[in-house]
Amino acid sequence: MKRIVLKSKIHRATITDTNVDYDGSLTLDGVLMREANLIPYEQIQVYNITNGERFTTYLIKGKDNSGEVVVNGAAAKKANSGDKVIIVAYATMDEDEMDFFVPRVLLVDDQNKITSR
């Protein structure tokens, strides 16, 4: 049996900008992507802690150590600069794969710098 499990999570990231006039996606600091085991164009879920909105999009790699978390395209109407969000990605695994898998979970501060892995 295959199950969908948490693969990556960035907890309490701060939205740094929104851009409704962009084709879509979420731009994310390259260091956060690497440390969270995320890749460009990977599908993600974004859960907005501030306003309760949830949306699905994909990632675009931002500049390393920039702290940027930019919501682009139509999803920009679901977030504002300063909002706190949870960014997650899931993976499909066989039950035997799950025995050894540990999701990558990052906690970040208000500037989106990693405080805990």
* Catalytic-role residue among 25, 41, 81, 90: 25
pTM of the predicted structure, to 2 decimals: 0.95
Give per-residue pLDDT as tens, 83-102. Answer: 999 999 999 999 888 888 99
Structure tokens that stand for 90 in this block: 């899931």
In DSSP notation, the chain reads: -EEEEEEEEEEEEE--EEETTSSSEEEEEHHHHHHTT--TT-EEEEEETTT--EEEEEEEEE-TT---EEEEGGGGGG--TT-EEEEEEEEEEEHHHHTT---EEEEE-TTS-EEE-
* Catalytic-role residue among 47, 58, 66, 90: 58
Check: CATH 2.40.40.20 for 2-93? yes
Residue 25 is a catalytic residue: yes
Residue 58 is a catalytic residue: yes
Residues 14-28 have a mean pLDDT of: 93
